[in-house]
Amino acid sequence: MGSKNIVQVFNKLDDLKLVFNYGQKIIPIIQNLIDFMRETVPLLENINNSISESTSKIPKASHKINDVTHATELATTEILDMVDNISGEISKLEKTYDGKFNEMKSIFTAEELEGAKESIKKIKDYSNNITLSLQVQDITAQQLAAVNHLIESVQKKLGELINDIEDADLDKIDRMNLELDEKITFDPNASYIKKDDHQKVADMIMDSNNLSSQEEVDKLFCK
């Protein structure tokens, strides 16, 4: 071994010494990293458990929303049936009024008869307004369906996350399926705000030469 080689060995030894020195400096950092991971693992497990728990609760929330939709649908149908009955009775009353008008003229004053006629008309208008307001059920049903759709998407993503984190029990995730009714369709932007502007635009697009104005509609119904 020549002196050149010995110099190279010493150089290598110096390099090794530097590595050891660097190692001594880095060991505390690695130790800190290990401590940090020790503390983080339970936290991650907590997060994972929370995600699992939340995911398992989502189908229940979704079913509750469906229950609300069905309950309001039932109630609305019942109210509409009642309005239908009221309208039927009012129509009968109107026919009787018209049929007995001449006889009533000898009993009641013209003012009283006019008042009765006006009352019948008002009741019919109120009935019409009730049916108009009850349409809020359909609009809210569509909004709730949109929320359910969103919940389904979140549940799906959370399910995938659980699967990625812990090689989750796939059966467990399958059991969490929402079993949403795929036949439900909805407009996520459905709104109960009555905007004549939208209808006017639609009318213009559909037939600019044969526009059905509100005045024409009112005229037909003698408003």
Partner 1 sequence: MKKVILVVEDSPTIRKFVAFAMLSHGYSVIPASDGMEALEKLPNEKIDLIITDLNMPNIDGLELVRTIRNSSEFKDIPIIILTSLSGQNEVEAGLHAGANSYLIKPFDPKRVVYEVAKYLN
Q: Which residues are near partner 1 by CB under 8 A? A: 73, 76-77, 80, 83-84, 87, 91, 128, 131-132, 134-139, 141-142, 182-187, 189-192, 194-195, 198-199, 201-203, 205-207, 212, 216-217, 220-221
CB-nearer residue toward partner 1: 39 or 216:
216
Q: How far apart are CA 153 and CA 141, in angstroms?
A: 18
Closest distance to partner 1 from the beta carbon of 42 (Å) = 47
CB-nearer residue toward partner 1: 177 or 212:
212
CB-nearer residue toward partner 1: 41 or 202:
202
CB-nearer residue toward partner 1: 37 or 217:
217
Closest distance to partner 1 from the beta carbon of 69 (Å) = 10
CB-nearer residue toward partner 1: 34 or 206:
206
Closest distance to partner 1 from the beta carbon of 64 (Å) = 20
83 touches 131 (CB < 8 A) = yes
Q: Which of 132, 100, 133 is nearest to 117 (CA)?
A: 100
Closest distance to partner 1 from the beta carbon of 53 (Å) = 33
Closest distance to partner 1 from the beta carbon of 219 (Å) = 10
CB-nearer residue toward partner 1: 149 or 172:
149
Closest distance to partner 1 from the beta carbon of 39 (Å) = 51
DSSP string, the chain: --HHHHHHHHHHHHHHHHHHHHHHHHHHHHHHHHHHHHHHHHHHHHHHHHHHHHHHHHHHHHHHHHHHHHHHHHHHHHHHHHHHHHHHHHHHHHHHHHHTHHHHHTTS-HHHHHHHHHHHHHHHHHHHHHHHHHTHHHHHHHHHHHHHHHHHHHHHHHHHHHHHHH---HHHHHHT-----TT----TT------HHHHHHHHHHH-TTS---HHHHHHHTT-
